[in-house]
Amino acid sequence: MKPYRMKLTFLGTGTSMGVPVAGGFGSEQDTGDPRDQRYRCSAWIQTEQRSFVIDTGPEFRLQTLRAGIRHIDALMLTHEHTDHIGGLDDLRAYNYAQKQAIPVYTNEQTEQSIRTRFSYMFHPDKTPGSVDLKFHTLIKPVQDGDTIITPLPVKHGKMDVMGFRINDISYITDVSEIPEETARKIDGSKVVVMSGLRWDPPHPTHFTIPEAIEVANKLKVEKAYLIHMSPFVNHEKVSRKLPDNVHLAYDQLQVTV
C-alpha cells in the first residue's frame, strides 16, 4: 500500500478527571506551563483523504473548536468509560453538517454500553436532531479510504480496551498490559501512543511512565508519545528523564508521519 502522509493532533492528554481536576484539586502542581493543563484523552488523525477522531471525552466540543475540526469521516472509541465517551452528544453538529450517520469503530462491549447509557440516540422515536451513529464492530483490519484500521486489543486492568493502528500510527490509551498478539500488530509503527499515568507508584489499570518506557524499548518503537497523565507529571521535569525515543504528549501537539 502506498504510504500516505498523516497528521496526528492530540486533542487531550490528561487523566480521567482532567488536569487540574474539578475544584482545583491538583492545581497546586500547576507550573504555569500550558503543557501541564490537560483535557481528557482524545486524538484527531488526518490523512490525505480522511479525518478520524479517537474518543469523545467531556471537553470534546472545546477540543474541536481549538483544533478546527470541520469534518469527521469516522469515530474510533477505545472503551465506554465516561472520560472517553462523555462528549458523544457534541457530534450532533457534525450530523447536521454532513447529513449522514457517523461511522463508529469499536468493540461490541463499548457499543452495548453506549446503546444503554445514551438510549435516546437509538430509540425508534428518538428526539429529532439526536446524534446519529452507525456502529462497526472492529475484529480484523478494515480499509477506509486511504487508511487501514487495525484493532489493537489491550487490557485496562481486567477490562478489555480497544486500541487502533491507523496506517503507521498505533494509539493505545488506558492500558496496563499489551498481549503478545497485539504487540505483533504494533510492530513497524512509526509512532506509538500509550498511557503513562505517573512516574510512580505502580497503578493496577495504567502503565506508569517507567513501564511505558520499558514497553517502548521492548517493541523497539521509533517514536513513543505518552498520554493520560496525572497532575503530578511535570512536563519539563519529567521530559528530562526520558530516553530520546519517548516523549510526553501535550494538548494540541501535532505530529506528522
Question: 32-86 pLDDT, tens per residue?
Answer: 999 999 999 999 999 999 999 999 999 999 999 999 999 999 999 999 999 999 9
On the question of pLDDT at 2 being above 60, the answer is no
Interatomic CA distance for residues 154 and 48, integer angstroms: 29
86 domain-assigned: yes
pLDDT, one tens digit per residue, over 188-235 is 999 999 999 999 999 999 999 999 999 999 999 999 999 999 999 999
Burial class (CB in 10 A: 0-12, 13-18, 19+), 153: middle
In a domain, 185, yes or no: yes
pLDDT of 124 over the 60 cut: yes
- CATH number for the domain that contains residue 61: 3.60.15.10
Cβ–Cβ under 8 Å, residues 163 and 152: yes
Question: Considering only CA atoms, which of 169, 133, 163, 162 is closest in space to residue 148?
Answer: 169
Q: Considering the domain boundaries, does residue 1 fall inside one?
A: no
Q: Are the CB atoms for 38 and 134 separated by under 8 Å?
A: no
The boundaries of the domain holding residue 184 are 7-256
Average pLDDT, the chain: 95
pTM of the predicted structure, to 2 decimals: 0.96
Distance of CA 92 to the CA centre of its chain: 20
Give domain status of residue 145, yes or no.
Answer: yes
For the sheet containing 159-166, what is the strand order?
Answer: 142-144, 147-156, 159-166, 169-171, 191-195, 223-227, 246-248
2 domain residue, yes or no: no
| pLDDT for residue 166 is more than 80 | yes
Looking at the 3D structure of the chain, how many domains does it have? 1
126 lies in some domain: yes
